[in-house]
Amino acid sequence: MFRFALTIFISAFLLFQIQPIIAKYILPWYGGTASVWTVCLLFFQATLLLGYCYAHILRICLKIHHQAIVHVFLIVCALAVLPVTPDLSLKPVTPESPLLGIWITLLVTIGLPYCLISASGPLLQYWFKQRFPSSSPYRLYALSNVGSLLALLTYPFLIEPILTLQIQSWFWSTGFFVYVLLCSSCAWSLRLVSEKDDPSRRSEQSVNRWDDRILWVLLSASATTLLMSSTNQICQNVASVPFLWLLPLSLYLLSFIICFDRAKWYDRRFWLPALFISVLFGLYCLLSESSSSIQFQVLVYSSILFTGCMSCHGEVVRLKPHPDQLTIFYLLISLGGALGGIFVTLIAPQIFNGYWELQLICCVILILLGACVFKGLSKKHYWSNIAMQAGWVTLCACIAMFLVKQVFLWSQDIVDVKRNFYGVLRVQDIKNIEDSQLDIRNLKNGTILHGNQMINAQYTRLWPTTYYGYKSGIGIAIHEHPKHLLKTNSNNEFRIGVVGMGVATISALAAHNDVIRFYEINPSVVEFSKKYFTYLQDTLARWEIVLGDARISMEQELDIENKQNFDVLAIDAFSGDSIPTHLLTIESFKVYWQHLNEDGILAIHISNLHVDLRPVVRQAAAALNKSMILIKNIANYETSAETSVWVLMTNNNDFLQRDDVVINSSNDTIIKNVALWTDDYSNLFSVLK
């Protein structure tokens, strides 16, 4: 009995430990966007469904001894793909079709082992039931989810801080080998199951009604949709901190553990009111998104997720079948999970221009729960049942009305909006009641400002706004560069590189005969910058745009000996809260300096609410033997300049000794000490504020 429990526990641990490992491998290839995690979740859900299909087919088509032989043979074959490290040849060459590229990478790297491990849950529980007929297999499902939860919780606190990605890959591969040995031991124990007792040759003892099976699928799909939509809400509209990827998934798994451990843990009298209260708080957050603190929003959205998943999974457990139907039960649950993932990842971006899945699924879950509650009511109390149903429908309708209102308020003053793989971009006009000359046009991704411009007057629309004011780090880097100061009467080009285009505000800092080269991964950003903002039209400089991940593009330029010879290179792909760590590793800094002139300046924008990137940049500067200064810029609301923090890295002594540079340099002491970040090791947890 113990060997089955240990095998299921280890298989579940491996199943969820590989998810952050493999996602961290490929995250830099697609710009570090949170959507990479959502696409990975869809792949894992789909592969889980495939594994459950495989387990169900084995059960209905083969005798139990033959099932054991086939499964052991396949998991031994899967050892051939170890270690699970994505091949560099799978790196995207162009930014098109990121979803397809991610899926191909995952399929080639982890597809077979992941599929076989995912089959372990239902298959080994079924074997367990035949080996020990008097024991219930459903608590093993709760145990498997404990293993899954432990895998997620140990990764950011134990695995990531001390192990490089390469070692993590070997650690997981070793765990898979241990799983093969344990699973083979479980298969060997099935020799004690008599041929005449082989359940694959018996008819099922009981068959659930089709409406129960439909509810298994719908409730599971709703829980998965809630998981992925709340993840989007937290990571796209609140804070794109990778730690928050694991929080929703951990709560989702915790609901499985509680519900499948004992049915009595799910009590409708507690969980349904808790869900209603959470949704009401969620409405408050959605209607006052800008004024609610990030901590409060994360707490509320997490509460909606947990109470919603507890309610959905609790109702699934209420409808669970006889153990003879165990594999079809898990198959339909995984089918629901895959359908939920398909809706959020593939369908919703095509039919919604914003992240409206959370609002929609809250309404759907309340309707489904009402169907479950009223499904089992006695027909003796007809009128009281009608009254209860009417009250439930009215409450659901009121919540739906407020959710629709939130969508309407979000759409006010919107000039244009577009949703794609990289998020939801909004162009929004903000009117100034006192002076129309100061009307502002914003570009936002979620709640993060990506740039703005004064739009009414010719002289104000040339102002460098937001994080690029004249006294900002990048403003000082350009205007105090000795070459730029001497360029007025010469024809020499002054070359500026920019990673992260925004609305091209940096071009307002450029002068005649300057050349600006933008690197931008999101095609919609380029489209909106040209269509709704005039910085590119008004600048005196010449400009170029390179579409794709900046680091990959720069590496490709070096491969064809197309060194850019930048005088200033601005790294501004992580202003806000999303941190593409691959742009902060020592390897990335070496790429930047290959494109910079010897007296060039590397300007890194590190304004952030959640992490302190100064220690990371300091380590890189020390490793490259470069000087580093910190420039803090205070907000000036008359010119729409925002508070910003820039780090300038250079060995240009003439620049470092200029008065404006010395005066504006900050004397902040960097207390934290972190390890040097490399492509094989980075730890955001160590730089949390």
Of 199, 220, 248, the position where a domain reaches its end is 199
Strands 514-520 and 494-499: parallel
pLDDT of amino acid 361: 93
Q: Are residues 259 and 385 in the same domain?
A: yes
Q: Which pLDDT score is estimated for 670?
A: 66
> Range with the lowest mean pLDDT among 104-113, 277-286, 340-349, 548-557?
277-286
User: How high is the pLDDT of residue 207?
Assistant: 53
- Please state the rounded mean pLDDT for residues 518-545: 93
The distance from CA 549 to its chain's CA centroid, rounded to whole angstroms, is 17
Instruction: With beta carbons less than 8 A apart as the criterion, state whether 519 and 553 touch.
Output: yes
Q: Are residues 217 and 173 in the same domain?
A: no
d(CA 398, CA 361): 15
pLDDT of 202 strictly over 50: no
**For residue range 86-119, what is the model confidence (pLDDT) as tens digits?**
988 888 876 667 888 899 999 999 999 999 999 9
Within-domain flag for 142:
no
Confidence of residue 463 (pLDDT cuts 50, 70, 90): confident
Number of structural domains found in the chain: 3
CATH of the domain at 472: 3.40.50.150
Measured CA to CA, the distance from residue 20 to residue 37 in angstroms comes to 9
Sequence letter at residue 256: F
Residue 376 has pLDDT above 70, yes or no: no
* Domain limits for position 108: 1-134+164-199
535 lies in the same domain as 660: yes
Residue 488 lies in a domain: yes
What percent of the chain is predicted at pLDDT more than 90?
A: 42
Domain assignment present for residue 401? The answer is yes
Residues 247 and 356 in one domain: yes
Same domain, yes or no: 248 and 121? no
Q: Does one domain contain both 545 and 662?
A: yes
The per-residue pLDDT of the chain, averaged, comes to: 85
pLDDT tens sequence across 152-198: 888 888 888 888 999 999 999 999 999 999 999 999 998 877 655 55
Q: What is the mean pLDDT of residues 38-54?
A: 91
SS3 labels along 297-337: HHHHHHHHHHHHHHHHHHHHHHCCCCHHHHHHHHHHHHHHH
Residue 145, in any domain of the structure: no
| pLDDT beyond 70 at 246 | yes
Among 379, 408, 437, identify where a domain stops: 408
Q: What is the pTM of this model?
A: 0.82
CATH number at residue 231: 1.20.1250
Within this chain, do residues 507 and 376 fall inside the same structural domain, yes or no?
no
User: Are both 586 and 618 inside the same structural domain?
Assistant: yes
Final residue in a domain of this structure, among 408, 442, 474: 408
Residues 98 and 191 in one domain: yes
Parallel, antiparallel or unpaired: strands 414-420 and 423-430:
antiparallel
pLDDT (mean) for 58-69: 91
214 and 355 inside one domain: yes
Question: Do residue 575 and residue 638 come from a single domain?
Answer: yes
- Say if residue 590's pLDDT is above 90: yes
Question: Between 128 and 669, whose confidence is greater?
Answer: 128
- Average confidence (pLDDT) over 387-394: 78
Distance CA 33, CA 38 (A): 10
- Note whether residue 575 is domain-resident: yes
- Identify the pLDDT of residue 311: 94
- The answer to whether residue 249 sits within a structural domain is yes
| pLDDT at 491 (0 to 100) | 63
Task: Examine the domain organization and report whether 562 and 664 are in the same domain.
Answer: yes
Look up tokens 């994360």; give the residue.
Answer: 298
**Peptide linkage before 199 cis (omega within 30 of 0):** no
In a domain? residue 143:
no
pLDDT at 287 over 90: no
Q: What is the pLDDT of residue 571?
A: 94
Cβ-defined contacts of 135-143 (< 8 Å, 24+): 135/1, 136/323, 137/323, 137/326, 138/260, 138/320, 138/323, 139/260, 139/261, 140/4, 140/5, 140/8, 141/256, 141/260, 141/330, 142/256, 142/257, 142/258, 142/260, 142/261, 143/5, 143/8, 143/9, 143/12
3-state class percentages of the chain: helix first, strand second, coil last, to nearest 5: 60, 10, 25
pLDDT of residue 201: 45
Q: For 541-556, how does the pLDDT look when each residue is reduced to its tens digit (9 = 90+)?
A: 999 999 988 998 999 9
Residue 435 lies in a domain: no
